[in-house]
Structures are given as C-alpha cells and as structure tokens.
Amino acid sequence: MIHFENLSKGFWVRGEYRPVIKPLSLSLPPGRAFGLLGRNGAGKSTLLQMIAGTMQPSSGRVRIEGRMSWPVGGTNSFHRDLTGLQNTRFLARVYGVDSDALVAFVEDFAEIGRHFHMPIRSYSSGMRSRLAFGIAMGIPFDTYLIDEVTAVGDARFKRKSRAVFQARMVMAGAIMVSHSMKEMRNFCDSGLVLHEGEIEYYEDIRTAIARHEALMQ
C-alpha cells in the first residue's frame, strides 16, 4: 500500500515557486495496477521518483508498505562504468535475491548479447531500457513503477515485455505511465489523473482515461 501524507513538490523558477504536486493526502489500495495520466510536463515522472524515494518532496512524505521498484524506464540505478552483468549482480545484492538466478534471467530476457559484459556507458538508450526492465522483472517487487518501458524494442520484444509484465501483475501492483491508452486499459485496474498539481483517483481505469482525454481537448 502507498500512503501520500500531505505530500507536495514544487520548484523555484526565476524567483517564483511553481507547484508540481499540490498538498496530497491519499492511500492507494494494495495489489492494484494504477495508470498515471496527465499531459506532458504535468509531473508524472516527478511523482514516480518521490514514490521511489529518489527525489525528496517539498513537504509531507510517501509511506510505503511492501517492496517498491525504482522507476523502470529510467536508468538512475546503474553505474555507468560497470558492465550490465556487474550492475545486475549489484542490484541482486541490494534487493536480497539470488545473484546467479537474476543474471541468468536478465541475460536471456534483455537480448543485448555481448553488451551485457560491457560498460553501461557504451549502451544505447534502448539497451539500457531493456536491461532495466529485465532486472526489475527478475526481482519480486510488491509494486512496480513503470515509465513507458513496455514500448521499448521491436514488435516481438514488446510482446515479450508485456507478457512478463502481465505475469508479474498476478501477484503485485503497479503504477504505470504510458502514452498508450490501449496499454492502460490492458494493464491497469484504476487510474490517477494529474492535472495542474492536483491528483484525482478513479476506481475504474476507463473513467480515468475519459477524464484525461477530456482535459487534453
């Protein structure tokens, strides 16, 4: 379960404070997949980073019950000078999972060949995303934070990514950001609409999508 306790976030721009997330108090039920909707620049990635603990709020806090992934789709958890293999083993130790088992899963899933044994700095953005998604799917999180990552790769790789993600959702929850409303409908139960710093919760993802599309017009 995720609890937002008077959470807010803003930035100072040219001497003016601009709120991104206005004071928010909300508890999200466990075991559900939430689609996070909002126009570009609304603050979706900022909210994911605060949930993950990689960005500090301006006030309040996020309280997490269970094991939370990093925002999958970003690569902030990687050390650029280490190889994909070394990063995988490091994250296995951090999250307390079997290192050899995770390495075997990620190497097979990511399909980056010899690059798995090369430094991350040599990767394309697509290879980094494949590696990040593979590591995240290989670790049993209670809640996955997903930022557009199922869109990475060719059609076959996208199908494989969606299949493994759906398998994880049987036993876990998620907060997912995607520009594809089809993916939102396929993967998500409920919705969060972020608009002008306010978050609206909808029990049904279809209602959230309708609200988002109305705001976009």
Q: How confident is the model at residue 108 (pLDDT cuts 50, 70, 90)?
A: very high
In a domain, 78, yes or no: no
Within a domain: 55: yes
- Rounded average pLDDT over 6-20: 94
CATH number at 185 reads: 3.40.50.300
Helices 84-95, 125-138: inter-axial angle, 10-degree rounding: 30
pLDDT of 157 over the 80 cut: yes
> 62-105: per-residue pLDDT in tens?
999 999 998 886 556 689 999 999 999 999 999 999 999 999 99
86: in domain:
no
Is residue 79 domain-resident? Answer: no
DSSP helix/strand/coil, 55: coil
Q: How many domains are contained in the chain?
A: 1
Residue 196: give the domain boundaries. Answer: 1-67+143-152+171-217
Report the distance separating Cα 153 and Cα 162, nearest Å: 12
Residue 113 lies in a domain: no
Please indicate, yes or no, if residue 188 is contained in any of the structural domains: yes
